[in-house]
Amino acid sequence: MMRQFDGCDGAKSGVARRLLAGALLALGLMSPGMALAAESVAVTSPRVTATLLSGRDRVAPGERFRVALVQKLAPHWHTYWLNPGDSGEPTQIHWNLPAGAKAGEIAWPAPRAIRVDPLVNFGFEGEVLLPVEITVPAEAKPGETFSLKAEATWLVCEKICIPEEGSFSLDLPVSAASQADEAAQQRIDAALAALPKPAGFRGKLAADGDRLALALPGLPSGASDLRFFPFSDSLIEHAADQPAKTGDAPTLTLTRSSAFKLGQPEVSGVLTFKQGGELRALTLVADADPALVGKATEPGAATSRPAVVRIPVPAEGADLTLLAALAFAFAGGLILNLMPCVLPVLFIKALGFAQTAHRSRAETREQGLLFLCGVLLTFLVLAGAVIALGSLGSSVGWGFQLQSPPLVIALAVVMVLIGLNLIGAFEIGGSVVGLGDGLASRGGRLGAFMTGVLAVVVATPCTAPFMGAAMGYAVTQPPAAALSVFMALALGFALPVVALSFAPGLLRLLPKPGRWMLVLKQAFAFPMFATAIWLIWVASVQTGPQGVLAALVAVLAAGFVVWLIGVTRGSLPRRAFGTVLAVLVALGAGWFTVENAVPGTNTEARAGDVQAWSPERVAALQAEGKPVFVNFTAAWCITCLANERVALSRQEVKDAFTKLGITYLKADWTNRDSRIAQALAEQGRAGVPLYLFYPGRKDGQAEILPQLLTPDIIVAAAERAAGGAAKAAANRP
């Protein structure tokens, strides 16, 4: 759109482009989401609108220029600086550039201290530009296109934190001389001008009792509201005040971090202060007192809050061999067939065998093999996704796709349609006029294959015994070993159905087809409806009321589409009309579902004495001598919900926690949470549930509980975590 102004200079070109864009918007020929060449299409959420902004419309071979990731934040939400402070993650950009092109590091603006009691985060509110220098290859030729592609991830927080990501791309023409986009370049230049400037003097860091004194000998006179933001996250307590002494010897008093350890003779960071009412920022390097170098905080030293980000626990599955992991995966796959989310689908397959067993053993064996193919292919796809995303740095695991509300709603729609089919509301796979029995036969084969696919999809909310260790091993191995573990799980999962299809003795025990099959088929519809209700509830936990509305609209649209296809059978015009209308309804419902299935803020609700998990909270409680129980769970995890009903909510467990002084923390992974995913990975786990008991002593190792709980298991583990003295105290009248 902007290329037709080649002959104009930069200023005229920018004005003309914006006039043209305004005219196109007024005529409805361009949507507000469409981007000009200097800015990518926006990635939007209710919290952040992000774009990639370029200072150039055209680039020259070998040129260096700046782009910026622009984040416009909703009120009260923030993203994070290089050192995020007490919690959080900095924004990251992963570039995909043409051969020979280079991208520099993010030029970080000065952060601000954002208090989220009792923590303090370092980050940004409002609008922030993160500039990056791009180098065009010297061998680029005029007339070519220089394509910038980037994948960015960021954590955006208010009282809750939501990980987000976006893909950005810009296609910039290569010409003999570069051409700036004046407006975009002004925005980037303003961001560069606001970056912290070199201080021009060196600070001095020395011990001041159990604190630190940062001397600032070259600080401009009249400076006030001083704050030091270190690049290291283990230097100071971020939430502590930084009292300043100004005058001839300006000094900041800093609280030493509980994780303090200085391995270099200097420290660096950003110093912010006000001068003449204007906020200024300097990049400061300070020489550390030699007595501090190599020193760590003494055990028991007084600090305001433990600053431990990693939880030191043994990794389940870390000591497995490949052969043991394959055996565990195969056993876990077998047991997975008994999970309540899988049984309804297997009932349908058993019903199909009952229909064919007395007619053709060859057909029954064929359906068993097709079921196996469906299972293997789906596990292969899941394994490929886990391996690929893991290689890109994402922490994903078993059941990760159910963290996407649109996919949860889509699965609920599938369950409703299957239920409607079973009760006879419509038929799939029967003969259609003019196509005869051949198509029906092919429909039976396809049905067997798709039953295998569906069985795996609905199995992902469940985790069987032995699976945790096997999956934990798989996600830490090279792709070939990881894939073999997934295939062992698939073979174990498919074995009962395949064995039934090849067992003539068992097949002869099945009754002959009759009315009982119709009744049983209709009865199997209700587990499907129950599963759909549960999935819609999961969507409500993930997204709030708008997710329920999206799910119900999707179910209504699916029912209407199926009905429409049925009533428009017959002549070609009727079928064409029905098909077009069905596609339009499906697209409209799909758009509505995706737009409304956005993770909401209701997942932070905690009932009773259950508290929200964080690594810092665990460390703080252990430092106070309090034993801790951590429940890594998700609303879509059937095993998790069963354990909560059968064991965790029992009165004897609650009484034991109270008597023994156990603090109950819950890590809710219903929506994607990078910190929980990282914590699971550190334990050698690829999914939930995970149950940990921490003893009431600093840095004590956690005990990992089995995946299937009983009250006795929990109470015994609680007594071990609390220690012998606490146990004796709890038994006193």
Residues in a beta bridge with 135 = 64, 102
Check residue 555 and give left, alpha or beta (phi > 0: left; psi -120 to 50: alpha): alpha
Taken in order 701, 233, 75, 70, is the CA torsion positive or negative?
A: negative
80 backbone dihedrals φ, ψ, rounded to 5°:
-120, 150
Note if the bond before 118 is cis, omega within 30 degrees.
yes
Q: What's the pLDDT score for residue 724?
A: 42
**Do 451 and 497 belong together in one domain?**
yes
Last residue of a domain, one of 288, 308, 331: 288
Does the structure show a pLDDT above 80 at 231?
Answer: yes
Contact (Cβ atoms closer than 8 angstroms) between residue 704 and residue 469 = no
| 402-426 confidence digits (pLDDT tens) | 566 777 787 788 778 877 877 777 6
Strands (E), 543-619: 611-612
**Residue bearing tokens 């220029």:** 65
Residue 63: pLDDT band with limits 50, 70, 90: very high
Q: What is the C-alpha end-to-end distance of the chain, expressed in Å?
A: 82
Nearest to 295 by CA among 260, 257, 256: 260
Task: Decide which of 116 and 308 is more confident.
Answer: 116
Region 54-82 average pLDDT: 93
Candidate from 26-35, 182-191, 367-376, 459-468 with smallest mean pLDDT: 26-35
Q: 64-68, 98-102, 464-468, 501-505: lowest mean pLDDT where? A: 464-468
Grade residue 347 by pLDDT with cuts at 50, 70 and 90.
Answer: low
Please tell me the predicted confidence (pLDDT) of residue 187.
93
- Percent of the chain at pLDDT > 90 equals 22
- Out of 93-97, 543-547, 557-561, 625-629, pick the least confident: 543-547
> What is the structure's pLDDT at 561?
80
Mean of the per-residue pLDDT values of the chain: 76
Are 76 and 95 within one domain?
Answer: yes
Q: What is the pLDDT of residue 46?
A: 81
**What CATH number is attached to the domain comprising 97?**
2.60.40.1250
Cα–Cα distance measured from residue 42 to residue 53, given in angstroms and rounded to the nearest whole number: 10
Contacts of the segment 510-517: beta carbons below 8 A, 24+ positions apart: 510/353, 510/354, 510/357, 510/358, 511/354, 512/358, 513/354, 513/355, 513/358, 517/351, 517/354, 517/355
Residue 123 predicted with pLDDT over 70: yes
| Average pLDDT of the residues in 440-448 | 56
Confidence of residue 371 (pLDDT cuts 50, 70, 90): confident
Task: Please give the average per-residue pLDDT across 682-704, as a whole number.
Answer: 80
Residues 337 and 475 in one domain: yes
Q: What mean pLDDT do residues 316-332 have?
A: 71
237 pLDDT band (50/70/90 cuts)? confident
Answer yes or no: do 187 and 201 share one domain: no
Q: Which of 194-208, 290-304, 501-515, 595-609 has the highest mean pLDDT?
A: 194-208
Give how far Cα 525 sits from Cα of 277, 332, 368, 422, 529, Å: 70, 27, 22, 5, 6
Among the residue ranges 247-251, 291-295, 585-589, the one predicted with the least confidence is: 291-295
**Residue appearing with tokens 């209504």:** 556
Same domain assignment for residues 520 and 644: no
Average pLDDT over residues 677-704: 80
Q: How confident is the model at residue 35 (pLDDT cuts 50, 70, 90)?
A: very low
pTM confidence score: 0.43
Sequence-separated (6 or more) residues with CB below 8 Å from residue 397: 386, 471, 475, 677, 680, 681, 685, 686, 687
pLDDT value of residue 434 = 29
Residue 529 forms part of a structural domain: no
Q: Are residues 182 and 75 in the same domain?
A: yes
**695/35: higher pLDDT:** 695
Query: Which of 513-527, 555-569, 592-606 is predicted with the least confidence, judged by mean pLDDT?
Result: 592-606
Highest mean pLDDT among 324-338, 464-478, 582-596, 611-625: 611-625
102-106, 316-320, 557-561, 589-593, range with greatest mean pLDDT: 102-106
In this structure, what token pair is assigned to residue 593?
A: 């579902």
**In a domain? residue 215:** yes
- 328 and 438 both lie in a single domain: yes
> Domain check: are 185 and 223 in the same one?
no
Distance between CA atoms of 18 and 1, rounded to whole angstroms? 11
Same domain, 132 and 213: no
Mean pLDDT confidence for 676-704: 80
Q: Would 455 be classed as within a structural domain?
A: yes
User: For residue 555, is it within any domain?
Assistant: no
Question: Of 138, 172, 193, which closes a domain?
Answer: 193
Which range has the top average pLDDT, 109-118, 310-319, 669-678? 109-118
Residue 536 domain-assigned (yes or no): no
Domain that holds residue 485: 322-403+427-524
pLDDT exceeds 90 at position 688 = no
Model confidence at 85: pLDDT above 90: no
Which CATH number characterizes residue 241's domain? 2.60.40
Burial pattern 534-571, b for ≥16 Cβ within 10 A else e, equals bbbbbbbbbbbebbbbbbebbbebbbebbeeeeebeee
Identify the residue with better confidence: 189 or 390: 189
pLDDT level of residue 706 (50, 70, 90 thresholds): confident
Query: What pLDDT sits at residue 394?
Result: 47
Question: pLDDT at position 301, please?
Answer: 37
Task: Give the model's confidence band at 50: pLDDT under 50 very low, under 70 low, under 90 confident, else very high.
Answer: very high
Domain boundary among 159, 193, 227: 193
Q: Is residue 599 part of a domain?
A: no
Greater confidence (447 vs 435) lies with: 447
User: Using alpha carbons only, how large is the chain's radius of gyration in Å?
Assistant: 31
Is 293 or 25 the better-scoring residue by pLDDT? 293
> Are residues 688 and 637 in contact, defined by beta-carbon separation less than 8 angstroms?
yes
CA distance 224 to 276: 9
Q: Which of 74-88, 133-147, 321-335, 670-684 has the highest mean pLDDT?
A: 133-147
Same domain, 238 and 135: no
Residue 343 is predicted with a pLDDT of 63
Q: The domain that contains 625 carries what CATH number?
A: 3.40.30.10
Task: Find which of 167-181, 238-252, 491-505, 539-553 is predicted with most confidence, using mean pLDDT.
Answer: 167-181
Q: What is the pLDDT of residue 235?
A: 86
Tell me which range, 45-49, 289-293, 498-502, is most confidently predicted by mean pLDDT. Answer: 45-49
What was the pLDDT predicted at 352? 64
Per-residue confidence (pLDDT) for residue 327, from 0 to 100:
86
- Asked if the peptide bond before residue 230 counts as cis, ω within 30 degrees of 0, the response is no
> pLDDT at position 204, please?
92
> Is the pLDDT score of 121 beyond 60?
yes
Query: In this model, does residue 643 exceed pLDDT 80?
Result: yes
Instruction: Give domain status of residue 499, yes or no.
Output: yes
Q: Is the pLDDT of residue 279 over 80?
A: yes
Domain check: are 248 and 394 in the same one?
no
Q: Give the residue ranges of DSSP H helices in 80-234.
A: 182-193
**For range 243-250, the mean pLDDT:** 81
Are residues 660 and 732 in contact, defined by beta-carbon separation less than 8 angstroms? no
pLDDT at 99 over 50: yes
Asked whether residue 472 carries a pLDDT value surpassing 90, the answer given is: no
580 burial (CB, 10 Å; 0-12 / 13-18 / 19+) is exposed
Specify the number of domains making up the chain. 4
DSSP 277: T
Q: Is residue 299 part of a domain?
A: no
Same domain, 442 and 504: yes
